[in-house]
Amino acid sequence: MSPRAVIFGCAGPDLTDDERAFFRDADPLGFILFARNIDTPERARRLVEELRSCVGRAEAPVLIDQEGGRVARLKPPHWRKAPPARVLGELYERDPEGGLEATRLNSRLLAADVASTGCDVDCLPVLDLAFPETHAVIGDRAYAAMPGAVAALGRAAAEGLLAEGVMPVIKHIPGHGRATVDSHHDLPRVEAPRQDLERLDFLPFRLLADLPWAMTAHVLYTAIDPDAALTVSARGVREVVRDHIGFEGLLLSDDLSMQALGGSLGERAARALAAGCDIALHCNGRRDEMERVAANAGPMTAAARRRFEAGRAYLGRHRAPLGAKGLAEASKRLSALLPEWG
């Protein structure tokens, strides 16, 4: 039987007996870690091993948001401090070749840190465009303002992760950059014409549509669906994500515990999956919420399972790890390109 079409967080750096029993019974596809789950490298690895043991699948994906800058769950002194995307975008603006090289090297080093914990999915790259009105929740997480630059840098970031054996997740499809409120707290409404969205916001995702995993934006685009955020819009998923952008990979919702969607947690999960998301993501580790999500999410569909397996094969084809010596050289080279971030 297929795993349940959900990914769950957990409450702390160690699992409780109740969490073990819940995860065993719920059988989620995988898990996601946050700063609250991270202590030492050894403890993080033990947690990841325990999570996989709960569902009895060594291949169960374990995600983490390790972008660099503000969004980093793995922090010094045990892991390196990495630059935000905007720093890489600024280097690209001055020196395109150097910017791409630095982005690729930085992602290899991020992947090495992620892999050191046992996690195998990094929710990166962010392909949202930087507009004058872009809310600070995205802010310097966006590489640049122009779709061509964002796509090139996003491709380099994904290549670095893949080469070190970590799955990238393009986000927030089809674009969060025009949002002027934080979707953790409110539902952003974007009123731009569809032709502008297709020409700018959607383009980086279209250029990287071959990548295996993507995460939705909790954003309502009035030109696409005036009644529902993309995550829970069957029209948006079908017409924009699958048809216009051409993304055929595994589609994750953004975190259902964010307040943009409204309704109960069970309703959010059911609506996201009915709209065409393959996997419902719930991050905060609250047992009562996870129970409601699990009750409204069945097993992965056959199509979702095919997409998941295709992603594993894609990762296998692109894996070419540098090893300890190569990573040390990568760090040295990154220091030459970005002296303050090597």
- Which residues are marked as active site? 184, 254
Q: Which amino acid is at 294?
A: A
Instruction: Please tell me the distance from the alpha carbon of residue 177 to that of residue 44, in angstroms, as a whole number.
Output: 33
DSSP 109-129: HHHHHHHHTT--EE---B---
Would you call 307 helix, strand, or coil by DSSP?
helix
What separation in angstroms does the CA of 184 have from each of 52, 220, 249, 273, 294? 28, 14, 25, 20, 21
User: Tokens 């890489």 appear where?
Assistant: 88
Helix count (H) and strand count (E) of the chain?
A: 12, 13
Tokens representing residue 192 in the block: 């731009």
Alpha helices in 170-301 (DSSP H): 194-196, 203-207, 234-235, 265-275, 287-295
